[in-house]
Amino acid sequence: MTTSGAQAHERTGNVDEHKQKVLEDLIDMSHRLGQPERELVILGEGNTSARVSDESFYVKASGTQLETIDAGGFVEVSTERALAILDEDDPSDERIIELLRESGVDGSGLVPSVETILHASLLSMPGINFVGHTHPIAANAILCSENPELLVGNRMFPDDIVCTGPSAVYVPYTDPGVKLAKAVREGVQRYVEENGFLPKLILMQNHGIIALGKTAKEVETITNMHVKSCRIALGALAVGGINFLTPANVERIFNRPDEKAREAMLFGTRKDGYSKGDG
């Protein structure tokens, strides 16, 4: 084999290993998010995705279940084709399914989740490699209430700030699919303009939550911590009300260097020393 041929073979091998690792991490994350005792999803609820490269990503196929999904339950999708669906002028449901099927690049013939467009948009943002969308009972108890924005800009304890950020993106109820993908994209863009950094958590009224992470572990940690916060909030309301941290308290915790280091450890992104700009 020539030197150039050997180098090409090595690059191909490295790409295959990378894709396999991404898929394995995605499957493991999906299984944990799908465990019924955690009350995050049931049946075919929720969807997950992971960035493969600038050109493609894996996303849960329509009709599969997070608890039992395997490699055959994910579709590799062209990021460019999925994002192009956002430019469609009010496409019909049938047209969306057709476009989703055409966005696949792995030849499986599976139809990606209806939320694929949303995943494409989020995974196109810098530093976002994994996305987990779930319908936690505790979170939806609040998101389906008359006070759905209760935990959007309020925080109750330090670990909530470390894991989910000082605030979340809030999206009023929007029809799932293209319309929701556009609403989420606009909400995230507005959040970045106002705060100067990406959100970790998106709360969708009467629907569920989305956790964004550099790693699968980060997505799980954000999801777990928000569900804990929801349970604490519901408990506090039952015994008289919630004592939220002040904005100054929240800002202090969010910017402490020791908390940044702990955040990197919790999310599996720490290399050595403090987290160098991560988060």
Determine, yes or no, domain membership for 187: yes
Predicted local distance difference test score (pLDDT) of residue 8: 38
| pLDDT digits 0-9 by tens, 13-52 | 566 899 999 999 999 999 999 999 999 999 999 999 999 9
Q: Is residue 176 domain-resident?
A: yes
Question: What CATH number should be reported for the domain holding residue 54?
Answer: 3.40.225.10
Instruction: Note the pTM of the prediction, 2 decimals.
Output: 0.89
113 phi/psi in degrees, rounded to 5: -50, 150
Q: What torsion, rounded to 10 degrees, do the Cα atoms 60, 77, 174, 143 define?
A: 40
Does 18 reside within a domain? yes
CA-CA distances (angstroms) from residue 53 to 20, 42, 79, 112? 13, 30, 9, 18
Count how many domains the chain has.
1
Question: Domain for residue 47, yes or no?
Answer: yes
Residue 183 located in a structural domain: yes
Stretches where the chain sits below pLDDT 70 are 1-15, 259-260, 263-264, 266, 268-279
**Count of alpha carbons within 13 Å of 214, Cβ hemisphere only?**
15
Residue 273 lies in a domain: no
> Does 275 map to a domain?
no
Residue 100 near residue 135, CB atoms below 8 Å: no
Contact between 29 and 130 under an 8 Å Cβ cutoff? The reply is yes
Say what the pLDDT of residue 116 is.
96
pLDDT tens digit string along 122-151? 999 999 999 999 999 999 999 999 999 999
- CA 85 – CA 182 distance, rounded (Å): 10
Please report the pLDDT score of residue 91 as a whole number: 87
Residue 31 lies in domain: 3-267
**DSSP per position, 112-135:** BPTTHHHHHHHHTSTT--EEEEE-
- Is 45 within the bounds of a domain? yes
